């Protein structure tokens, strides 16, 4: 039998072409002679009949065979019934050896074609996915390069190449995109730090905070800058001017409250004890020479400061919290001016006595008395009064006395007595 699709020859007992896999159309077996006999019985349209010739039958068969050789194979009615029964029952029809070989080859080829088609499909899908992924990545890169983070990255790259003008441009562009984020200000400050200009870097943060006084992240960035550049003393100055409670709560670990003096600064006429306290849970350091105290140069406060010398004293103090952050420096000026006592009281009074008398000087607490008996003015080098002094006999004595403040060394006015003693 010849396949009507590819023209291949194959056995009549096969229903599938082993070359192309086309299925052969199956039609029931019939006898052409029966058709001829039927027509003769029915008669022609003219009602005439004629004898059936053997040659007619043969010619009919040849023509019919030539017309269907490429399309069909004639099977008997019994075989047709058997095939139909097998299909209904799910029982496969036994195949001839040639048909089995052709069917196996056909299946192999069909499977190979399906595998190749699947490979082509996967390959095309993979190529499509790669293209889409490349487009997505390219889009992400473009978006990233122009994003806030992208500007920051470009700025730092420019700093590494010391292209500070480009770095400043990138950081400024980032600030325009989002002025509340601290990264751009930090990067801008890095431009100055890289050039050893700490004042310029500090100004970046102070200017930003001035325009955004409630921005907690900017305050934290400035604090980190001061810590990294070993300027912790400036943190308290920064926070001292902050009026936003939310900011102060957020950075409370860095807050160091300035100490307070008691009593307050002023002029005092007696010795004073000055106490220093602070709300900061830490230590207090002070100086008495007018310089700003530090942990290294100040005196650690452990007890009240005693001011017992007359004169002016300036106390400067700081409080240092647990993070080592010093407070702002506070100062207090104290002046001690001890009062000058009146001229000392000397007894007896000036006069003439027939017998020597005991001369006494009243000495207030905190003073020392000095005297002379030859009329000269007394000083601290003169005779110190320790008790009553007896008048000389039969003589005239000019007794001069002073009091000297034990704290400041100041002397009072002189008290003069003129004594004359005569024998009766």
Q: Is residue 158 part of a domain?
A: yes
Query: What is the rounded CA–CA span in Å between residue 362 and residue 273?
Result: 29
Cα angle vertex 110, ends 106, 111, to 5°?
Answer: 120
Residues 300 and 352 grouped into a single domain: no
Q: Is residue 319 part of a domain?
A: yes
Counting Cα atoms < 13 Å in the Cβ hemisphere of 330 gives: 21
Q: Is residue 242 part of a domain?
A: yes
Last residue of a domain, one of 306, 336, 366: 336
Residues 304 and 221 grouped into a single domain: no
Against a cut of 0.75, is the pTM above it?
no
User: In tens digits, what is the pLDDT along the chain, a chain of 424 residues?
Assistant: 677 777 777 666 666 777 777 766 554 444 555 555 556 555 544 444 455 555 555 665 565 554 544 445 555 666 666 666 666 665 555 555 555 566 677 778 888 888 888 888 888 888 888 888 888 887 776 666 679 999 999 999 999 999 999 999 999 999 999 999 999 999 999 999 999 999 999 999 999 999 999 999 999 999 999 999 999 989 999 998 899 999 999 999 999 999 999 999 999 988 899 999 999 889 999 999 999 999 999 999 999 999 988 889 999 999 999 899 999 999 999 998 877 778 999 999 999 999 999 999 999 988 999 999 999 999 999 999 999 999 999 999 999 999 998 877 889 999 999 999 987 6
CA distances from 377 to 398, 399, 401 (A): 10, 9, 8
Last residue of a domain, one of 254, 272, 300: 254
Residues 297 and 332 grouped into a single domain: yes
User: Of the candidates 328, 399, 330, which has an alpha carbon nearest to the alpha carbon of residue 358?
Assistant: 399
Q: Is residue 6 part of a domain?
A: no
Residues 236 and 152 grouped into a single domain: yes
Q: Is residue 196 part of a domain?
A: yes
Residues 161 and 233 grouped into a single domain: yes
Residues 245 and 190 grouped into a single domain: yes
Q: What is the per-residue pLDDT for 70?
A: 47
Identify any residues that bridge with 298 across adjacent strands, giving them in sequence order: none
**Phi, psi torsion values for 330, nearest 5 degrees:** -120, 150
Is the peptide bond preceding residue 263 cis, with omega within 30 degrees of 0? yes
Residues 157 and 210 grouped into a single domain: yes
CB 300 within 8 A of CB 320: no
User: Of the candidates 366, 362, 365, which has an alpha carbon nearest to the alpha carbon of residue 415?
Assistant: 362
Counting Cα atoms < 13 Å in the Cβ hemisphere of 108 gives: 8
Query: What is the rounded CA–CA span in Å between residue 397 and residue 103?
Result: 162
CA distances from 186 to 145, 172, 216 (A): 19, 11, 14
Residues 314 and 354 grouped into a single domain: no
CB 11 within 8 A of CB 98: yes
Q: Is residue 127 part of a domain?
A: no
Q: What is the per-residue pLDDT for 47?
A: 47
Q: Which two tokens stand for residue 183?
A: 């990264």
Residues 412 and 372 grouped into a single domain: yes
Q: Is residue 101 part of a domain?
A: no
Residues in the chain: 424
Q: Is residue 86 part of a domain?
A: yes
419: left (phi over 0), alpha (psi -120 to 50) or beta: beta
Q: What is the per-residue pLDDT for 18?
A: 74
Q: What's the number of domains the chain is made of?
A: 4
H/E run at residue 278:
none
Q: What is the per-residue pLDDT for 27?
A: 47
Query: What is the rounded CA–CA span in Å between residue 46 and residue 38?
Result: 16
Last residue of a domain, one of 312, 336, 360: 336
Instruction: Please give the residue range of the domain that contains residue 218.
Output: 148-254
Query: What is the rounded CA–CA span in Å between residue 380 and residue 360?
Result: 18
Q: What is the per-residue pLDDT for 26?
A: 53
Q: Which two tokens stand for residue 379?
A: 């000083």
Q: What is the per-residue pLDDT for 371?
A: 97
Residues 168 and 243 grouped into a single domain: yes
CA distances from 130 to 126, 136, 311 (A): 6, 10, 88
Residues 274 and 245 grouped into a single domain: no
Counting Cα atoms < 13 Å in the Cβ hemisphere of 129 gives: 6
CB 74 within 8 A of CB 50: no
Q: How far is CA 53 from the centre of its chain?
A: 110
Residues 215 and 186 grouped into a single domain: yes
Q: What is the per-residue pLDDT for 205?
A: 96
CATH number reported for the structural domain that contains residue 369 in this entry: 2.60.40
């Amino acid at each position: 039998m010849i396949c009507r699709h590819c023209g291949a020859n194959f056995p009549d007992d096969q229903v599938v072409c082993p070359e192309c896999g086309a299925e052969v159309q199956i039609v029931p077996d019939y006898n052409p002679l029966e058709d001829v006999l039927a027509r003769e019985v029915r008669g022609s349209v003219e009602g005439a009949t004629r004898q059936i010739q053997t040659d007619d039958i043969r010619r009919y068969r040849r023509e019919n065979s030539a017309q269907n050789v490429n399309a069909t194979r004639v099977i008997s009615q019994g075989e047709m019934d058997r095939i139909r029964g097998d299909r209904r029952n799910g029982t496969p029809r036994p195949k001839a050896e040639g048909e089995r070989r052709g069917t196996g080859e056909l299946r192999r080829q069909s499977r190979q074609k399906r595998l190749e088609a699947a490979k082509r499909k996967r390959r095309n899908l993979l190529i499509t996915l790669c293209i889409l992924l490349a487009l997505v990545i390219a889009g992400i890169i473009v978006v990233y390069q122009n994003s806030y983070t992208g500007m920051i990255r470009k700025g730092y790259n420019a700093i590494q190449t010391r292209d500070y003008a480009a770095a400043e441009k990138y950081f400024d562009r980032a600030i325009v995109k989002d002025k509340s984020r601290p990264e751009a200000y930090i990067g801008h400050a890095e431009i100055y730090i890289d050039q050893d200009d700490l004042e310029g870097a500090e100004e970046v943060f102070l200017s930003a905070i001035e325009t955004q006084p409630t921005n907690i992240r900017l305050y934290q960035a400035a604090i980190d800058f001061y810590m990294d550049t070993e300027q912790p003393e400036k943190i308290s100055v920064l926070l001292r001017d902050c009026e936003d409670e939310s900011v102060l709560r957020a950075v409370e670990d860095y807050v160091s409250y300035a100490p307070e003096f008691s009593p307050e600064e002023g002029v005092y006429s007696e010795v004073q004890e000055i106490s220093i306290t602070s709300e900061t849970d830490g230590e207090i350091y002070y100086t008495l020479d007018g310089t700003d105290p530090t942990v290294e140069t100040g005196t650690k406060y452990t007890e009240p400061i005693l001011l017992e010398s007359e004169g002016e004293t300036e106390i400067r103090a700081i409080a240092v919290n647990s993070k080592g952050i010093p407070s702002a420096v506070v100062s207090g000026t104290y002046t001690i001016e001890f009062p000058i006592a009146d001229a000392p009281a000397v007894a007896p009074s000036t006069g003439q006595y027939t017998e020597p008398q005991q001369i006494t000087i009243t000495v207030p607490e905190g003073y020392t008395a000095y005297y002379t008996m030859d009329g000269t003015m007394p000083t601290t080098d003169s005779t110190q009064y320790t008790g009553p002094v007896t008048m000389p006999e039969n003589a005239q004595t000019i007794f001069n006395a002073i009091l000297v403040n034990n704290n400041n060394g100041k002397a009072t006015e002189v008290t003069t007595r003129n004594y004359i003693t005569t024998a009766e």
